[in-house]
Amino acid sequence: ILDEKRAILLRKAFELMLTGLYTGQQVLDILNKEWGYKMRIRKSTGGGELIRSTWYKMLSSPFYAGIIVYNGIESPGKHTPLISLDEFNRIQEILGPRGCKRKPKKYDFTYSGMFKCGNCGCGVTAEYKTKYLQIKKEMKRYNYYHCTHKKRELNCKQGSVEEKEITADIAERLKRLEIHPILLDWALEYLEKQKGVEEKENKIIKVNKKDKTKELTAQLSELTKMRFRNLIDDKLFLQEKEALKKELDQLNETSEDSKGHDEIIELTKETFIFCAHALKTFESGDKLKKKEILLNLGSNQTIIDKKVLILQHKWIAPIYDNALFFNTEIVRLEPPILGLNKRKNDAFASLNLAWLDGSGSNRRPIGYTLPLITKRSGLYYHPRLNRV
């Protein structure tokens, strides 16, 4: 049984594993070196750092998901789990079929553990090859990714793909997300204004809801008094009470919805900023940064026929579909010509309106809209209120 201090650190370590951005060894190093984890002191052992074999046993033990295994049979334990069963299963996917028996990786590849084979669903593994370049008189290393072919019965024929091709594929997707600085300024300015408008509206709505709640509560109290004095029968009392409570519940629900307004707008700002800078950050970032950007871009990353396929997050799709059109128009209308030509200035203003209203070359919305929160069109829509 773990004490609270060790439980907190181990939970954090499991969370790092769940991101898929770190190997088991990397998380162990953070746990020991950065967080100062020490094993419990016993009669003849303990007090030192967590060793690798023990760590991998912990990662592959269902005990930490609240499961006790006895004679090969699993049953719920009475102890408090550190992770959910779904989280435990996800960690096993990340560890691979050998779990704690896996040997530490000698080479850290950029996209290790990030892709599945698009043909058979097996994992994609990486290896390197070297070639001596006679002209440059140096050894050149090439990183390749290929299907693990674990499901032999499927007879997968997918070949290998070089790492630089994968990087180029991802960069091409990110290039389509690039937003011109002027468009980014428009979006952020618009969202900031919307935030101010909604704050004013929410204050008015809050006062109205408070008054309405007070009124309904008074009616409910009066209804109870009437029943106490036998002025109404049970049937009418219960009927009216249910109606009043229903109204109160609806008011409380809409109050909860309004609490997320500011967070939605902030998350939408983050989405626009991510799209504007993702390509440059990806090209200049280290391996961990590249993985982070790949995860932010979408899910279900696969490789098939040497091409990267990504299920794009739906909140990125409108920008992906429309950014090229608006970027092209901005370049066409950009200063110094703008300052000298009223006709082009008018076109520039119209483009601004189109960007904010959600109309482009295909007349499809660029703006994110969340009808449950606002009835007017706008630039914000973001379902990630429960951020990981």
Both 257 and 270 in a single domain? Answer: no
The reported pLDDT for the residue numbered 141 is 82
Determine whether 25 is exposed, middle or buried from the number of CB atoms within 10 Å of its CB (0-12, 13-18, 19+): middle
Structural domain ending residue among the three candidates 263, 285, 305: 263
In a domain? residue 350: yes
The rounded distance, in Å, linking the Cα atoms of 60 and 101 is 10
Q: Reply yes or no on whether the pLDDT at 101 is more than 50.
A: no
Both 30 and 62 in a single domain? Answer: yes
The rounded distance, in Å, linking the Cα atoms of 19 and 14 is 9
* Count of domains observed in the chain: 4
Cβ(24)–Cβ(59) under 8 Å?
yes
Q: Would you state the structure tokens that stand for residue 275, as one six-digit string?
A: 């799209």
The rounded distance, in Å, linking the Cα atoms of 18 and 90 is 7
Determine whether 369 is exposed, middle or buried from the number of CB atoms within 10 Å of its CB (0-12, 13-18, 19+): middle
Both 34 and 94 in a single domain? Answer: yes
Both 200 and 224 in a single domain? Answer: yes
The rounded distance, in Å, linking the Cα atoms of 265 and 354 is 20
Cβ(74)–Cβ(67) under 8 Å?
yes
Both 96 and 8 in a single domain? Answer: yes
The reported pLDDT for the residue numbered 29 is 94
pLDDT tens digits, one per residue of 328-349: 888 777 655 445 455 545 554 5
Q: Reply yes or no on whether the pLDDT at 383 is more than 60.
A: no
The predicted model gives 285-311 an average pLDDT of 92
The reported pLDDT for the residue numbered 289 is 92
Residues 6+ positions from 217 with CB-CB distance below 8 Å: 248
The predicted model gives 206-215 an average pLDDT of 80
Both 139 and 81 in a single domain? Answer: no
In a domain? residue 71: yes
The reported pLDDT for the residue numbered 31 is 93
Share of the chain above pLDDT 70, in %: 76
Structural domain ending residue among the three candidates 263, 285, 320: 263
In a domain? residue 14: yes
Find where tokens 């050998």 sit: 98
Task: Provide the 8-state DSSP code for 123.
Answer: B
The rounded distance, in Å, linking the Cα atoms of 305 and 217 is 65
Q: Reply yes or no on whether the pLDDT at 364 is more than 70.
A: no
pTM for this model (two decimals): 0.54
Q: 252 lies in which domain range? A: 183-263
By residue count, the chain amounts to 388
In a domain? residue 74: yes
In a domain? residue 373: no
* Confidence band, pLDDT 50/70/90 cuts, at residue 131: confident
In a domain? residue 379: no
In a domain? residue 108: no
Residues 6+ positions from 380 with CB-CB distance below 8 Å: 191, 194, 264, 265, 268, 367, 368, 369, 370
Across 153-162, 270-279, 355-364, least confident range:
355-364
Residues 6+ positions from 89 with CB-CB distance below 8 Å: none
The rounded distance, in Å, linking the Cα atoms of 343 and 87 is 59
